[in-house]
Structure 1
Amino acid sequence: MDANPQMCVLIFVGTNGETYFNTTSLVTCIQNFPKSRGPTVGILKGFAGLSSAILTQLYAVLHTPDHATLVFMVAVGPSLVALGLMFVIRPVGGHRQVRPSDKNSFMFIYSICLLLASYLVGVMLVQDFLNLSDNVVTSLTVILFILLISPIAIPVTLSFFSKTEYPSPTEEALLSEALKGEASTSQEKEDQPELILSEVEEEKSKEIDSLPPSERRRRIADLQAKLVQAAARGGVRIRSRPHRGENFTLMQALVKADFWLIWLSLLLGSGSGLTVIDNLGQMSQAAGFQDAHNFVSLTSIWNFLGRVGGGYFSEIIVRERAYPRHIALALAQILMAAGHFLFAMAWPGTMYMGTFLVGLGYGAHWAIVPAAVSELFGVKHFGAMYNFLTVANPTGSLIFSGLIASNFYDYEAEKQAHRHQSSVLPSPRLLHGLGLLSDGPLKCEGAVCFVVSSLIMSVFCVMGAGLSLLIVHRTKRVYSRLYRSSVR
């Protein structure tokens, strides 16, 4: 088998394996921390985005002529971690899903995230400008691993030093049996009221939400009683399909307009961001920078901060304001639009500011969207819905990078090549010496290479922000119902 087919097979297996890791970690943590979905998703996706920078630093320490050692470590290491943790991590429920110390624990992890990002930026800059010895690089990597494992102090502290009293295993078993028995005996009684309440949410007018709590409860009770009577007479058919905020299957979610609006908004935002990440090398060279390594590394850091920050700020919005999480996504997409506009203008320093804005906005997508989908369509089938949403990422990259950015880049590169050919003597040796007759791909120089594609992506990001605001308008009543009790 040739090398290229082998590489394609390895990439296929590797990317599919990564999907299993993402799905397992996200679904388990969202089920275990339903009251902190934004921070949970942001931290998980943030470290997933930062893993490349961490492995790069590890490679700097283990750099040997035999690259097979590093490949073997990357291939076997994640599997060993999963096998070791499968006996420790498990879904929990009830009182264990919410602890009084959760807020402090998340703040500690956020502090570690900021410190880790700052440390990696500093290490990368030092390694780029100074020639460090192997001992110094090893010391820097040891400090990096200390920062990485420091969050383990949280479960250790809660397990051995927490004074919170929980029921004993015997009491928990008896409690679970009692709850199961109660649920089985009252199943028929609960089914119809739940359906009636779902109908009430659709039948009640918007003015009811603005009434005082006592009057609102009375109006809803009257409406529910009327629906029950109408259902008994056969005048109203109680629908059994889920409503937003309840558990959907993937097929049920696919017929909802909100799901497709979320998918399209994700396509416009993440697709344009991934296009910048894929073309950073050409963009930096066109802007006059010889080495794109710094921009790639910095974008990874900004992506990490965007994921962590997106989860944190979107959680504040839903918890303190009971407002849809997508308002934070709209702000992130506006930042991305500004970043693309800066790329198009090519002013001095815009490469740094553009990568900062686009990296932050792109990262925020992968903290906000999964949390919002789990809230609107439930966590029971969240894994299937999340993996369907991720299709928006390569689809957007195919449209923006494969069809728009690459075509405009090649067009401008050909124009510059023809311009050079017409301005020099028609000597083949001279043209070959200038690199115009080489077999390699054409290169484009100057801001003109990406000005049109950057402006197009800026417009699409604004459109994505508009779709996010439309989702906010359509789901604000759902979030008001879900988080009304948590508003201070």
Structure 2
Amino acid sequence: MVAVGPPMVVITLMFIIRPVRGHKQVRPSDGSSFTLVYCVCLFLATYLMAIMILEDLVSMSHNLVTVFTLILFVLLLIPIGLSFCEEPRDPAEEIFLPRLEQHEVVSNEFKNEKPEEVDSLVVSEGQKQNAQLQSELFRAAAEGLVRVKKTKGPRRGEDFTLTKALIRADFWLIMFSLLLGGGSGLTVIDNLGQMSQSLGYANPYIFVSMICIWNFLGHIAGGYVSEIFVRDHAHPRPIVIVMAQLVMVVGHVFLAMEWPGALYIGTLLVGLCYGAHWAIMPATVSKLFGLKKFDAFYNFLSLANLTGTLIFSSVIASSIYDYEEEKQVRQHRIKSHILGSILSGMFARDESRKCEGSICFFLSSMIMSGSCIIPAVLSMVLVILNYHKFYIFILPTLL
């Protein structure tokens, strides 16, 4: 299902996707349409969460489950039906047009003035802005923040090839940050069923579904918050990653403890922060290294995520889990020999049971919690190294 489902969704929706080649092709209704789709997605996540909680608390009849399923399909069809409700647009209006420059706005404000006066006003305003930008650049160079010289290859914000990006330190900072931070989050998603079973929860699928929902909400929240930091406060996007990774440290600690409700809180924090990784990291890479080879960059990010999962899940978590399970089996064998042959058969049949208690994933969760501190430091180094470059090369493309 995981292998077939996403390609089928892409193939189905590719016929209703409208390419947008410039801001002039954006329809006035696009903003409200995206807002409606986001609202439907948020309502769908809330709806699924409510259904899972209701199903866990009370027993529902088959007819009630059928009604809830039909409502779910209706919610899924709303975004698709939205594409057919769009008003058709004249193809002549879809032609790519140059972006509206500031002098056009100035000319509209002074349309009653003489053309010569308007032109002189535009030129003087442009010269003033250029002089201000040059003075800020020269001041930064004088302070040692920026070295104004010709460099080989593209600058940050321009289109990089994969080979040129691989020799950049900030690219490897992003890779290792995602390897440790994203890898630990995906490890929790893969092993959450066993975690809940070891803590005595009867329905582990609830936690698996919950972390998927939190992961989705983390995608939305991470992108939204990072845009606020970039556009409203003029801060680099990796600052949000630093905060997400520090919150994930706390989430892994909750998963390691056997406190009441700790598994719910840990699932919430890790799911949100893992989703934020995949909303912010690709956007950061696209802004630093361009969109021309973004497919190769994205595949490398996926490789880092899978490598981290291989290390944390297959090597660390599974080895510690098997060790704790074997230790519990040996303890039960010792107890069976002490108590006698009557209980011996009972424990012999029980040797195949799973590991029980928070000890099964305590050490693994604490290791992942400590490992999330390292990517937070790496992301902070990325922020410090690129802070001044963000203002010169990247921020002007966002405004």
Q: Pick from 225, 228, 250: which aligns with 1:316?
A: 228
Q: Is 2:144 the counterpart of 1:144?
A: no
Deviations 1:20-40 (A, max 9, x none): x5xxxxxxxxxxxxxxxxxxx
List aligned pairs for 1:17-416, cutoff 5 A.
Answer: 21=7, 78=8, 82-96=10-24, 98=26, 102-152=30-80, 155-156=83-84, 158-160=86-88, 168=92, 172=95, 215-219=131-135, 238-239=150-151, 241-416=153-328
The residue type equivalent to 2:73 in the other structure is F
- C-alpha change, 1:97 and 1:383, in structure 2 (3 Å) is farther
**Aligned equivalents of 1:102 and 1:470: distance in 2?**
38
- C-alpha change, 1:107 and 1:362, in structure 2 (3 Å) is same
Q: For residue 134 of structure 1, report the CA deviation from its aligned partner.
A: 3.3
**Aligned equivalents of 1:140 and 1:92: distance in 2?**
36
CA contact (8 A) 1:337 1:459 kept: yes
Partner of 2:388: 477
Q: For residue 486 of structure 1, report the CA deviation from its aligned partner.
A: 5.5
CA contact (8 A) 1:310 1:367 kept: yes
Deviates more, 1:299-308 or 1:466-475: 466-475
Unpaired runs of 5+ residues, structure 2, are 99-127, 140-147
Q: For residue 138 of structure 1, report the CA deviation from its aligned partner.
A: 2.4
The residue type equivalent to 2:76 in the other structure is L
Provide the secondary structure at the position in 1 that maps to 2:155. Answer: coil
Partner of 1:467: 378
Deviates more, 1:237-246 or 1:408-417: 237-246
Unpaired runs of 5+ residues, structure 1, are 1-10, 22-77, 177-211, 224-235
The residue type equivalent to 1:126 in the other structure is L
CA contact (8 A) 2:251 2:269 kept: yes
- C-alpha change, 1:477 and 1:107, in structure 2 (3 Å) is farther
Provide the secondary structure at the position in 2 that maps to 1:450. Answer: helix
Provide the secondary structure at the position in 2 that maps to 1:348. Answer: coil
Q: Is 2:361 the counterpart of 1:450?
A: yes
Deviations 1:111-158 (A, max 9, x none): 222211110111222333444333322221221122223234654555
Deviations 1:231-261 (A, max 9, x none): xxxxx99555111101112222111111111
- C-alpha change, 1:282 and 1:328, in structure 2 (3 Å) is same
**Aligned equivalents of 2:215 and 2:367: distance in 1?**
22
Q: For residue 432 of structure 1, report the CA deviation from its aligned partner.
A: 4.1
CA contact (8 A) 1:306 1:359 kept: yes
**Aligned equivalents of 2:200 and 2:15: distance in 1?**
52
Provide the secondary structure at the position in 1 that maps to 2:337. Answer: coil
TM-align CA RMSD: 3.1
CA contact (8 A) 1:320 1:486 kept: no
CA contact (8 A) 1:324 1:479 kept: yes
CA contact (8 A) 2:332 2:347 kept: no
CA contact (8 A) 1:272 1:400 kept: yes
**Aligned equivalents of 1:272 and 1:167: distance in 2?**
48
How many residue pairs align between the two structures? 360
Q: For residue 483 of structure 1, report the CA deviation from its aligned partner.
A: 2.5
Partner of 2:125: none
- TM-score of the superposition, structure 1-length normalised? 0.66
The residue type equivalent to 1:137 in the other structure is V
CA contact (8 A) 2:248 2:372 kept: yes
